[in-house]
Amino acid sequence: MAQLASAPALGAGGPPFESEYPDNKVCNSLELQTFFITSSYLKIHPMKITTLVDNYVASGKMGAEHGLSLYIEINENPVLNQEKLNILFDTGQSDLFHHNAKHLGIDLSQTDLLIISHGHYDHTGGLAKFLEINDKATVYIRKEAFWHKMHNGKYIGIPNKEKLLQKDNPAKNRFILTKSIFTPISPLLSIISTPNKSLTSANNFSIKHDGKTEPAEDLFCDEQYLAFQIDGKTSLVTGCSHKGIIDIISDTQHITGNKVIEVIGGLHTSKHSAKEIRELSQKMASTHVKYIHTGHCTGIEQYAMLKESLKDRISYNYTGKSFHTKLMLN
């Protein structure tokens, strides 16, 4: 397993957008050069993604549910000092991710890292099960994921979170609470968290925290993304894209200095109108993104509309589907 790195400290040579993130640590330009290695002359094994949970499934031998869980395999590359890593990105809303993984021959006890994209039940419902079957993986999660999260006044946060946070729970020691906008976890991988801003399409999501009784707008401070980066290009894995996928892409490019050419995960468009989908398609067409593997909260009707506009740039990522990143094929 690759040695885990802590977030770099703020340096005088930080990126010019440093002032936008006054409460976060930003890596300096030298550290960015270290982690974003230019290697166009190298041949590396691609990143493989297998969908353990999505809203839809193509085979009756596996189950589907409203949720997301991705199994990500990073193969060894000695030249870039990248060791083999097995990563679970979210856990769906139940133990289904485990059932489907066994059917696919995936041993989750060998997972090295778990990354929680945000604190909603459909991404964290299998967290307790994962900690039961895996006794070694480090869990990357933001502290805000444990806030009391609601939709239309109904609790939709992490199930049984109080038990997870008990002092006598040994699994609690495996949690790393990410704080920075940029958290490197290996030479080619980092966790990204973009700036908080008012969301025009928050759809009645709210939070309570710090003992407050009145709910506040949920700005999704807990949302984070996984970036696989090489040769100046990024493959970006997202859970629900609550902060808006176009803003997420733009902010990620500002943070890393690399072009996002591939997006994997939900787009949070299931409530979007045809007009909103057309506008999103136009904005997406103007980005550097060439490949979109989506599902879950994107919405099946909205996906069909996006497919009509974006053609082969977009595909549906149903339960049981496996594919390799396109990152090094450009």
Q: Please report, to the nearest 10 degrees, the dihedral formed by the alpha carbons of residues 97, 100, 101, 104 taken in order.
A: -160
The pLDDT tens digits for 243-254 are 999 999 999 999
Question: Does any domain span residue 22?
Answer: yes
Write out pLDDT tens, residues 261-313. Answer: 999 999 999 999 999 999 999 999 999 999 999 999 999 999 999 999 999 99
63-78 average pLDDT score = 91
Q: CA-CA distances (angstroms) from residue 104 to 51, 71, 119?
A: 10, 11, 26
Residue 34 banded pLDDT, cuts 50, 70, 90 = very low
Q: Which two tokens stand for residue 110?
A: 């060998």
Instruction: Summarize pLDDT for 160-182 with one digit per residue, the tens.
Output: 998 888 888 888 889 999 999 99
Residue 107 lies in a domain: yes
Given a cut of 50, whether residue 15 has pLDDT beyond it is no
pLDDT above 50 for 119: yes
On whether residue 1 sits in a domain, the answer given is: no
Nearest to 330 by CA among 40, 48, 80, 74: 40
What pLDDT score was predicted for residue 202? 52
CATH number at residue 258: 3.60.15.10
More confident residue, 51 or 163: 51
Q: How many C-beta atoms lie closer than 10 Å to residue 175's C-beta?
A: 19
What pLDDT shows up at residue 225?
98
Structural domain includes residue 162 = yes
Question: How many domains, in total, are found in the chain?
Answer: 1
The per-residue pLDDT of the chain, averaged, comes to: 86
- Report pTM: 0.86
What per-residue confidence (pLDDT) applies to 5?
A: 40
Structure tokens at 329: 């094929």
- Is 88 in contact with 122 (CB distance < 8 Å)? no
pLDDT surpassing 50 at residue 132? yes
Structural domain boundaries enclosing 243: 18-325
Q: Rounded to a whole number, what is the distance in angstroms from the first to the last CA of the chain?
A: 28
Distances (CA, A) of 174 to 14, 91, 169, 181: 30, 16, 10, 21
Q: How confident is the model at residue 79 (pLDDT cuts 50, 70, 90)?
A: low
